[in-house]
Amino acid sequence: MIARMLMARRGRAGWDWTDWASYVYLVLGVILMFGPVLWLAVSSVKSQAGLDVFPPSLLPWEQARVAVPNQPSPLPLFRVTSGDHAGETLAQVRRIGLQAQLVSAIDPSQIIRMPTKDLQPEMRVHASWSNYSDLLAKFNFGLYFFNSVFITIVATVLTLLVNSMAAFALSKYRFKGREPVFLVMLATLMIPPTIVLVPNYLIAATLGLTNSLWGVIFPAVATPTGVFMLRQYMLTLPDDLLEAARMDNASEWRIYWRIVLPLSAPALAVLAIFSVMWRWNDFLWPMVVLSRSEVFTLPIALFSFQGDLQTQWQYLLAMTVCTLVPVTLIFIFLQRYITQGIASAGVK
Amino acid sequence: MSATLDRPARFGAFVGRLLGGLYGAIMNLPERPMRAAQARLRDGRLGWLFVMPNLLVFAIFTFLPIVIDFWYSVTGGAQLLPGDRPYVGTGNFDSLLTCKNYLDPTTCERDLFWYGVWNTLRFVVLQVTLMIFFSLLTALVLNRKIAGRGFFRAAFFYPVLLSPVVVALIWKWILQRNGILNAGIQAFGGQGTDWLIHANWAFFWTVLVSIWGHMGFYTLILLAGLQAIPADIYEAAAMDAASPWRTFRRLTLPLLMPSLLVVFILAMIRAVQIFDEVYVLTGGGPGTATVYMVQFIYQTGFAQGVRQYGLAAAGSLLLAAVLLVFTLFQLRTMRRGAG
Amino acid sequence: MSHRCSLAALAFAAGAALAASPASAADIRISCYSDGNECPVQKEMSAEFMKENPDINVIIDEVPYSAILQSLPVQLAAGHGPDIARVTAFGTISQYFLDMRPYLKDADYWDKNFSKTLAWLRPTPQDKGIYGLPTQLTITGAIVNKSLFEQANVPMPGPTVTWDDWAAAVDKVAKATNVPHGMAWDRSGHRFAGPAISYGAKYFNADGTPNVIDDGFKAMGSRFLDWNKNATVDRDVWVSSGGGYRDAFSEFQNGQIVLYYSGSWQVRRLEKQIGDGFDWVVAGDPCGPAACSGMPGGAILVGFKQTKSPEAVAKYLDWFAQPQRYAELMSKTENIPAQQELQTSGAVKYNVTAAGNAAIGAFLTETTRLSPVAYQLQGYKYNFQIFNPTVDRLSQAIAGQITLDQAYARITQDVADALATANQK
């Protein structure tokens, strides 16, 4: 079946069952990839009570409230299920034990008492934007956003520059130690980053990079994955181009800047996107290095509510959506370049 | 021309010239020193010049910490500063490797380490296999003449951009007792369950969630590899009346092997080092059913007040050694196969 | 004057001005994490402090709790870090604490009113240093859903009832009202300690070295395991989230448990998130043969040795320690005061509902029933090295991964291991 799918690569007139199967598979895949994120977003505007409803609804339901004269805040509405007032919708003034005191919206002066078991909450659709506004009101969003953006952009530019220079050297020059350098870089991929956190901090502290955005930028610049990927791509660039340029008496820097870099654009685009993704989502290292709030990044600021939020899903969900919006926007605008870039940078 | 139209246009032109000048300046800056260097150094040495910035940052922030790590692994005590730690030789490694029965972590001195080892082994075998299977399948499907191929390609790639913590939170929300998965199952007449409280289900979900989060990346690499296979080869095979399965096995797979190898190595490295998603999703639970190697390192070296950093470092080195051996073995096989 | 002279004079003046400027204001940096609203309240009150002390500039950085637990010790070890931090795990960073005694105007006031909690910060019992200001006194206790008891028509047990009786009562209520579980405890060794002590656990030998597994501990351990097995206790809380602390507040809020064994820091959340959704009351700490004890606790603002302005640090903390300011802080954060005089005088007025006031009052009563073992345990330098294995190993036993006896053996081993590492020089 797989093989037949391959054979169909060149297209045929009319649809085959493999075509149907492919489309079904792809549509299911899209639902599976996007669905969970959409569900997260939908859930994030539900009120706390709405989140506990089972089975969960698509729309954000919450208990209706009505403003009643002489009451300081809107009262929750209930529908009476049995007894004298069955079928009526009443506002609950207070509840003591298993007895509730309610008033009618028409005649708020008269208090009606009945057991809570005869009451059912009256629900309405209402998006709970306070989940977001409460969060954003708590901290200096603009400053942390700027810090994150600064780190991301500067780190990405430096990463592209430094990694491409190294990849250029490792692919186009023959010098002793070329292989060992490359292998050592690759070998360091095997060490989980968690364990180098503390030594890295000690080094950063010695260099005076703590509590500085540069302390987050510099260590991130020499990514072995980036060098590996760029090197593989640059290996495919024909040497004659470089030779021709050398014969024209171009300096090596000119060759690198004017010829190699532009030709490596697809691979550079991929590295750029990954670098943006890594730096934007970075959490553990910035948290260790940055302890002053002026230099906090967005993920750190969002997680400062962690203790309080542990069981308040409505804030946790809103916070998660906040974290993924920037990345999603980049994705929407650049998705064509992302997928094209990886496809053409695919390791040969 | 009115003044209002003129000003933004002139400003734009000014900025454009400024950026152009900046670009030219940066490009021309290293010209002179580069030519001077070229005159002095032989061709090979020039390579070092280009590698130097990367090597410098790498040496300070990647290599040096690992060297310090080696020192940590042969020292004990709870002090963080390397100078304050007493030397214990192979004490940490001995402690990690002491077991009456290696297959039963409860008989080991460091049971958490061995839970990590066996759980990670199970995880890697299952996850990498499934990951490659689904990535390959998706790449093959995407390789066909499909309408909206770009959209589908991008859709599979989207979860890769999300941070592991976000991925885990998304799925934790879905897998809640009152979550949408249970609701869906109930709608079809089944009985939902507490997914993350049963050892086997928790394990299964760590595999699935990690595949969800990373599959797109490998799909694209394999897709690129598939698209690099020239079409004439298939025409030739069709003319020889070869069966589809034979074509796939004899033709496609070997040509795809370099890409498959890259995917295999990267997927394995990432699977062995899995941590963030799992820690947020299950915390290693229930009990220690989903404790993987890096969680052992994290818990031993960070999460305790009395940090057993020597043990954590020793564990990470053992892990890295195994991974390195395996990767080199794979690379050697590929080199031999390619020749 | 010649040109050169005036130029030189100008240069000298400029240089002097530049050299003089850093000395104008002392900066104090505080790393603060909030359980509820502690950090915002502190920021608000610090503004007033700065008005009264214009030469001190206070900057409060709100950080995640994990930053305090994990990043702060790393920063301190490297010689960096804030001037003050709000800390809960004192033992392993006590070597960095600043002794404020020489800088305090009235150290006796501190000795008299904060003696019990200041003891937790001292590296050895003989030490007499004053290392920080407790921002709260927390105490564990049972919070009960009274409405469910009423619905089930079961009378609420009194203050001297044992854990066994409570377990039976909540079980009855749960079955009668169709609630899945009778009770849930926060996933924490600190939470487990109170009931264990009530059933006779001593945690320490006579010489102060830890001896965690004794008959009392085992008595509560086996009970807790049984309750988890027969669904009296919600298993999910201790078992599913393997890696760390987890509280069961949402289970209580959603009416899935009858009794929630947590502590006084929840009052604010009870007020805000449950309100009058159902009647909740604080039932105190159930009893055992040895005691009716919970565990004390609380986050403490500690100063660090490497601060550049120790006098400013001491001044700042002293300002908050005075009765009026401290009462204001407690009232605004809805915490129980650690200041011993305020505990009994009732001078702290909380802006809460009647239910909230009753709860706080009940918790205050609990402070008088604390066993001395509880204080000793909270003040022990390596208490987290006892709490963490307790919860990890018991969770494994509850998950069915190991037997209870294996769990006990592992706890003993883990504690000994941590102590050995800590003492390795």
What's the gap in Å between the CA of A67 and the closest CA on chain C? 18
A106 vs B127, which has greater pLDDT? B127
**Same domain? A113 vs A84:** yes
pLDDT recorded at residue C290:
93
**Does residue A249 lie within any of the structural domains?**
yes
Residue C370, CA distances (Å) to B76, C197, C295, C374 in order: 38, 10, 7, 7
**Same domain? A106 vs A145:** no
Burial class, B276, CB count within 10 angstroms (exposed 0-12 / middle 13-18 / buried 19+):
buried
pLDDT recorded at residue B44:
66
pLDDT recorded at residue B210:
96
**Same domain? A32 vs A163:** no
Q: B251 pLDDT exceeds 70?
A: yes
**Same domain? A179 vs A94:** no
Residue A60, phi-psi category: left (phi > 0), alpha (psi -120 to 50), beta (remainder): beta
Residues 6+ apart with CB under 8 A from B11: none
pLDDT recorded at residue A9:
45
**Same domain? B10 vs B117:** no
CB contact under 8 A, B61 and A299: no
Best of A48, A303, A310 to substitute, by most chain C Cβ atoms within 10 angstroms, is A310
Which amino acid makes up residue C19? A
The answer to which of A17-21, B186-190, B320-324 has the lowest mean pLDDT is A17-21
- Among B residues 70-109, those touching chain A with beta carbons less than 8 Å apart: 72, 80-82
**Same domain? A174 vs A214:** yes
What tokens does B180 get? 């949408």
**Same domain? B66 vs B116:** no
**Same domain? B203 vs B56:** no
CB contact under 8 A, B51 and A3: no
Q: A4 pLDDT exceeds 70?
A: no
Best of B161, B219, B222, B246 to substitute, by most chain A Cβ atoms within 10 angstroms, is B161
The answer to which of A6-20, A254-268, B98-112, B202-216 has the lowest mean pLDDT is A6-20
Distance CA A136, CA A115 (A): 40
| Topology, domain C139-296+371-423 | D-Maltodextrin-Binding Protein; domain 2 (3.40.190)
pLDDT recorded at residue A33:
94
Question: The domain containing residue A111 runs over which residues?
Answer: 65-121
Distance CA A156, CA A272 (A): 6
Q: Which of A98, A202, A287 sits opposite C67 (nearest CB)?
A: A287
**Does residue B234 lie within any of the structural domains?**
yes
- Among B residues 281-320, those touching chain C with beta carbons less than 8 Å apart: 282-291, 295, 299, 302-308
CA nearest B198 in C: which residue?
C240
Give pLDDT tens digits for C105-129: 999 999 999 998 999 999 888 889 9
Model-level pTM? 0.85
**Does residue A245 lie within any of the structural domains?**
yes
C365 vs A232, which has greater pLDDT? C365
**Does residue A117 lie within any of the structural domains?**
yes
Distance CA A262, CA C89 (A): 54
How many domains does the structure of chain B reveal? Answer: 2
CB contact under 8 A, C250 and A201: no
Q: Which of A3, A170, A299 sits opposite B248 (nearest CB)?
A: A3
**Same domain? A251 vs A171:** yes
Distance CA A197, CA A193 (A): 7
Q: Could you say which of B73, B100, B130 is where a domain stops?
A: B73
| Mean per-residue pLDDT, B117-140 | 95
The answer to which of A11-15, B334-338, C7-11 has the lowest mean pLDDT is C7-11
**Same domain? A39 vs A96:** no
The answer to which of A146-155, B17-26, B268-277 has the lowest mean pLDDT is B17-26
**Does residue B90 lie within any of the structural domains?**
no
Q: Could you say which of B73, B90, B122 is where a domain stops?
A: B73
* Of B189, C316, B65, nearest in space to A204 by CA: B65
Do the Cβ atoms of A293 and A339 come closer than 8 Å?
Answer: no
Give pLDDT tens digits for C94-107: 999 999 999 999 99
Residues 6+ apart with CB under 8 A from B254: none
- Among C residues 81-110, those touching chain A with beta carbons less than 8 Å apart: 81-82
Helices (H), ranges, C153-292? 163-177, 189-198, 215-229, 235-239, 249-253, 267-269
State the CB neighbour count (10 A cutoff) for residue B228: 15
Specify the CATH number for the domain of residue B261.
1.10.3720.10
What tokens does C361 get? 């009052």
Measured between beta carbons, the chain B residues lying within 8 angstroms of A43 are: 173
High-pLDDT (> 90) share of chain A, %: 15
Residue A267, CA distances (Å) to A160, A226, A235, B23, B122 in order: 10, 9, 12, 21, 34
Question: The domain containing residue B36 runs over which residues?
Answer: 3-73
Would an 8 Å CB–CB cutoff place A195 in contact with chain B? yes
Distance CA C152, CA C52 (A): 57
Which amino acid makes up residue A74? P
Residue C402: half-sphere exposure toward Cβ, Cα within 13 Å: 23
Strand A111-115 relative to strand A119-121, pairing? unpaired
Which amino acid makes up residue A311? T
**Does residue B193 lie within any of the structural domains?**
yes
CB contact under 8 A, A287 and C78: no
- Hunting for tokens 């501990």 — which residue is that? C217
Q: What is the dihedral of CA A105, A111, A114, A116, to 10 degrees?
A: 60
pLDDT recorded at residue A157:
93
How many domains does the structure of chain A reveal? Answer: 3
**SS3 call for A15:** coil
Residue C143: which pLDDT band, with cuts at 50, 70 and 90? very high
Distance CA B49, CA B51 (A): 5
pLDDT recorded at residue A10:
44
Measured between beta carbons, the chain C residues lying within 8 angstroms of A94 are: 276
pLDDT recorded at residue B339:
43
**Same domain? B132 vs B253:** yes
pLDDT recorded at residue A320:
85
**Does residue A335 lie within any of the structural domains?**
no
End-to-end Cα spacing for chain A: 27
**Same domain? A227 vs A95:** no
Specify the CATH number for the domain of residue A101.
2.30.30
Query: Cis omega (within 30 of 0) on the bond before A55?
Result: yes
Residue A344: which pLDDT band, with cuts at 50, 70 and 90? low
* Of B89, B95, B90, B87, nearest in space to B113 by CA: B95
CB contact under 8 A, C400 and B290: no
| Topology, domain C25-137+298-349 | D-Maltodextrin-Binding Protein; domain 2 (3.40.190)
Average pLDDT of chain C is: 88
Q: Across-strand partners of C141?
A: C262
Q: Can you tell me the ipTM of this complex?
A: 0.83
Residue C281: which pLDDT band, with cuts at 50, 70 and 90? very high
Would an 8 Å CB–CB cutoff place C74 in contact with chain A? yes
**Same domain? A196 vs A248:** yes
Measured between beta carbons, the chain B residues lying within 8 angstroms of A52 are: 178
pLDDT recorded at residue B16:
78
pLDDT recorded at residue C6:
43
Residue B96: which pLDDT band, with cuts at 50, 70 and 90? very high
Q: How far is CA B151 from the centre of its chain?
A: 24
pLDDT recorded at residue C30:
95
Residues 6+ apart with CB under 8 A from B229: B252, B255, B256
Best of A191, A261, A273 to substitute, by most chain B Cβ atoms within 10 angstroms, is A191
Q: C169 pLDDT exceeds 50?
A: yes
CA nearest C152 in A: which residue?
A98
| Mean per-residue pLDDT, A307-326 | 76
Phi, psi angles (nearest 5°) of residue B99: -150, 140
Distance CA C42, CA C66 (A): 20
pLDDT recorded at residue B330:
80
| CA angle at C90 for the pair C89 and C95, rounded to the nearest 5° | 140
Best of A38, A198, A203, A306 to substitute, by most chain B Cβ atoms within 10 angstroms, is A198
Strand C296-297 relative to strand C138-145, pairing? antiparallel
Give pLDDT tens digits for C201-258: 999 999 889 999 999 999 999 999 999 999 999 988 888 765 577 888 888 988 889 9
Q: B298 pLDDT exceeds 80?
A: yes
The answer to which of A321-330, B33-42, C59-68, C131-140 has the lowest mean pLDDT is B33-42
- Hunting for tokens 């502290």 — which residue is that? A205
- Among A residues 287-316, those touching chain C with beta carbons less than 8 Å apart: 287-288, 291-293, 296, 300, 303-308, 310-313
What's the gap in Å between the CA of C409 and the closest CA on chain B? 11
Distance CA B233, CA B246 (A): 13
Residue B279: which pLDDT band, with cuts at 50, 70 and 90? confident
**Same domain? A39 vs A186:** no
Distance CA B238, CA B243 (A): 8
**Does residue B83 lie within any of the structural domains?**
no
Distance CA C196, CA C394 (A): 13
Residue A75: which pLDDT band, with cuts at 50, 70 and 90? confident
Which amino acid makes up residue C319? W
**Does residue B324 lie within any of the structural domains?**
no
* Of C26, C17, C42, nearest in space to C313 by CA: C26
Would an 8 Å CB–CB cutoff place B279 in contact with chain C? yes
CA nearest A172 in B: which residue?
B47
**DSSP string of C308-322, one letter each residue:** S-HHHHHHHHHHHHS
**Where is C300: in which H helix or E strand?**
strand C300-303
Residue A347: which pLDDT band, with cuts at 50, 70 and 90? very low
Give pLDDT tens digits for A9-63: 444 556 777 788 889 999 999 999 999 999 999 999 988 777 877 778 888 888 8
Residues 6+ apart with CB under 8 A from C255: C145, C148, C179, C278
**Does residue A311 lie within any of the structural domains?**
no
CB contact under 8 A, C424 and B76: yes
Q: B14 pLDDT exceeds 90?
A: no
- Among A residues 72-101, those touching chain B with beta carbons less than 8 Å apart: none
Do the Cβ atoms of B172 and B165 come closer than 8 Å?
Answer: no
**Does residue A101 lie within any of the structural domains?**
yes
Distance CA A136, CA B49 (A): 47
**Same domain? A113 vs A14:** no
Q: C18 pLDDT exceeds 60?
A: no
CB contact under 8 A, C70 and B291: no
**Does residue B325 lie within any of the structural domains?**
no
Sheet holding C26-32, edge to edge: C56-62, C26-32, C84-87, C300-303, C132-134
- The number of residues making up chain C comes to 425
Measured between beta carbons, the chain A residues lying within 8 angstroms of B117 are: none
Q: C149 pLDDT exceeds 90?
A: yes
Measured between beta carbons, the chain B residues lying within 8 angstroms of C251 are: none
CB contact under 8 A, B197 and C385: no
Distance CA B270, CA B323 (A): 11
Helices (H), ranges, B59-148? 64-73, 91-96, 111-142
What tokens does C306 get? 């490497």
**Same domain? A85 vs A164:** no
What's the gap in Å between the CA of C63 and the closest CA on chain A? 5
Phi, psi angles (nearest 5°) of residue A67: -85, 125
**Does residue B104 lie within any of the structural domains?**
no
Residue B23: which pLDDT band, with cuts at 50, 70 and 90? confident
**SS3 call for C30:** strand
Distance CA C296, CA C299 (A): 11
pLDDT recorded at residue B336:
67
Specify the CATH number for the domain of residue A230.
1.10.3720.10
Do the Cβ atoms of B268 and B326 come closer than 8 Å?
Answer: yes
Strand A89-96 relative to strand C257-263, pairing? unpaired
Residues 6+ apart with CB under 8 A from B306: B78, C92, C382, C385, C418, C419, C421, C422
pLDDT recorded at residue B337:
58
Q: B203 pLDDT exceeds 90?
A: yes
Measured between beta carbons, the chain B residues lying within 8 angstroms of C422 are: 77-78, 306
